[in-house]
Amino acid sequence: MPQIDSVRALTQLSEDEALFRDSVYEFADREIRPVVREMDERAKIPRALIDRLFGLGVMAIEIPEAHGGAGASFFHAVLAVEALSRVDPSVAVLVDVQNTLVINALVRWGHEDLQRRCLGRLAAGAVGAYALSEAGSGSDAFALATRAAARGDEFVLTGRKLWITNANEADLFIVFATVDPGAGYRGITAFIVERGTAGFTVGKKEDKLGIRASSTCELLLEDCPVPRASVLGEIGKGYKVAIETLNEGRIGIGAQMVGLAQGALDHATQYTRERKQFGKAVAEFQAVQFQLARAATELEAARLMVYNAARLRDAGEPFVKEAAMAKIFSSEVAERVTSLAVNLYGGYGFVKDYPVEKLYRDAKIGQIYEGTSNLQLQTIAKQILG
């Protein structure tokens, strides 16, 4: 197990890590920034851009090299999400779900044959999605109604999933269903379902406030056959797959919010240097300086919380409380910083010709998905109260 020598070790980037993060940001600045507005308006990430993300290596960060991936750490995935989010959080969440949820779950819970069948595809160009939420099970994730009935060497899945990120692009889906409704959460099981399976349909695409280019769709399962060999983890232990994967996924969302807020602060800082009022740059007014200083301070605190949680996870140390803290704090900071950026732009901040209104819209989801802020507070309270 890696040793944690100091707080400095948790929060400081090595030279290689800093170079990796910066290289991802340079890619995003060059390849993604020119098409951000178009993707937002069309509510779609072009397949050509997704292919370039695979070429960059950020869609298979934790996949072992033997399966075609980078064999890198969870922390590297967090750095990639942060860097991409400075430019477009929609692209970042595509990468985040692929790495911190789908690949993470397969590496941890998949048996050898399932990893062999799936990880190579996820490294080579297949997108993954994670299907837990339903109409009646959002925050109460284990109230799901999707059924998995045993039938010989397979299970037959029937139900409807909602709010599934990456659904339009995905080739492989981790779908949670219950094999025994009477057993409560102990009946929940995770399955790998492939696009094109009989009875499986990607349904309505949601028209969202923010992260519009990221697809969010319903899934329909009608007598959908899934081989027993496609069970992820153990039958009846899907709740463990869900809980442990989401605990890690929350760190990824924290990274998304940190990157998003950094992008907004970058824009606001530059704009206040250029915008002149009363004969001088807006940045010369102390009131503006103090607002930027406070935003930068809160953002740095959020970043360190995210890095700390990610380092703890990679070191095999307890991190559930730290992940929940990082997620709730970074999402609140992102909302405040993007709101400030809109304010500092004045009237220009309220129109789509300038970038900050989009980041303001994108920030709101951080307090909702992968566990609402109230659920994070509940988790933190349980941890500190024992």
Q: Which residues carry out catalysis?
A: 370
Whole-number Å distance between alpha carbons of 307 and 78: 8
Closest CA to 84 of 128, 19, 15, 33: 33
Q: What is the Cβ-side half-sphere exposure of residue 192, based on CA atoms within 13 angstroms?
A: 28
Q: How many CB atoms lie within 10 A of CB 342?
A: 18
Whole-number Å distance between alpha carbons of 383 and 119: 34
CA angle 24, 27, 31 (to 5 degrees): 145
Alpha-carbon dihedral 318, 128, 81, 290, rounded to 10 degrees: -90
